[in-house]
Structure 1
Amino acid sequence: MLKKNLILHSFILYMVFFSNILGAADLTNLTPSEVNSGLGKDAIIIDIRTPQEWQKTGIIPGSHPLSFFDPNGKYNTQQWLAEVQKLQSTPDQEIILVCHSGGRSGRVGTLLSEKLNMSNVSHLQNGITGWLKEQRPTEKACTPTQTC
């Protein structure tokens, strides 16, 4: 009985201390300064807002407009990921998500990191609103259906 308890306690301690290694990565919240420092690097910045939102505020220079949700709030994760993969140079390339205020990008980032076990996903906390509040630049969004 003592041996069984010792094994059980050892297993529990193992799970407590090493579950972070085995589990999904946590979503990282980035400030506008941190996103700005990633602009010239290997990270892919993806703006998941709607085309109407891109038109209203513009997008972060160098980012990729790629809506996650349709106008009814529905999404097709596989189709969206297929588009993301076209942008990636490697499967583990860092992805930084942007939305209006950080809510949607946080939910999408959590979905990607916890449910799909993607390890290199971050999002801009406070979204484009925080970016604009710091008077950071934007550019016009060019999409396949719109010429710039």
Structure 2
Amino acid sequence: MHERGKWMERRKYLQVMSRGLPPLLEQGVALVDIRRPEEWRQTGIVDGSLLLTFFDERGGSDPERWLTELAKWVPEERPLVLICRTGHRTVYVCEFLVEVTQRPLIYNVTDGIFGWLAEELPVVAPPSVPE
């Protein structure tokens, strides 16, 4: 981007592997699991995750509704980590957040919950959630 004779660097999100997630959580970074309820039940979730589905089973989404829900739980100034199954869906959501919010720090868990499980890190059963 160019503004008044200066080149401005585009805001970016950061990549983190699942094994790098525990220190971020200890620092108070919010973890948002964007998977669907059946996926949470299938694998379990990282304890303390905010469960907030972004894409439905057909790949559709309602980004404005999702942002409204996110804002109810995670203030914009709080750093945010997004996790999905393998780190692919969260790339799209991270890009979206970079474009439409002023969040100071946004992370993508590049290997998703599958990476978390492969590292033998703990999961808990999700609370009862509607389909």
How far did residue 138 of structure 1 move? 0.5
- Considering fraction of residues, name the structure with more strand: 2
* Matching residue of 1:133: 118
Distance 1:130 1:143, change over 3 A: same
* Matching residue of 2:87: 102
| Aligned ranges 1:25-104 → 2 under 5 Å | 25-88=11-74, 90-104=75-89
Name the SS of the counterpart of 1:70 in structure 2: coil
- Percentage of pairs with the same residue: 27
Q: Show CA shifts across 1:15-67 (max 9, x none).
A: 2xxx11xx3x2111112232111223321100001111111100111111110
Please tell me whether the aligned partners of residues 29 and 78 of structure 2 are also in contact (alpha carbons under 8 angstroms): yes
Query: What TM-score do you get using the length of structure 2 for normalisation?
Result: 0.87
Please tell me whether the aligned partners of residues 105 and 123 of structure 1 are also in contact (alpha carbons under 8 angstroms): yes
Say which is worse superposed, 99-108 or 116-125, in terms of deviation.
Answer: 116-125
Runs of 4+, deviation exceeding 3 Å: 143-146
Paired letter, 2:72: K
Equivalent of 2:100, from 109, 112, 116?
116
Name the SS of the counterpart of 1:39 in structure 2: helix
Q: Show CA shifts across 1:89-116 (max 9, x none).
A: x321111000010000111111111x21
Distance 1:51 1:73, change over 3 A: same
- Considering fraction of residues, name the structure with more helix: 1
How far did residue 139 of structure 1 move? 0.6
Aligned-pair RMSD on alpha carbons?
A: 1.8
Structure 2 unaligned regions, length at least 5:
none
In the aligned structure 2, how far is the partner of 1:142 from the partner of 1:112? Answer: 26
Query: What TM-score do you get using the length of structure 1 for normalisation?
Result: 0.78
Paired letter, 1:134: E
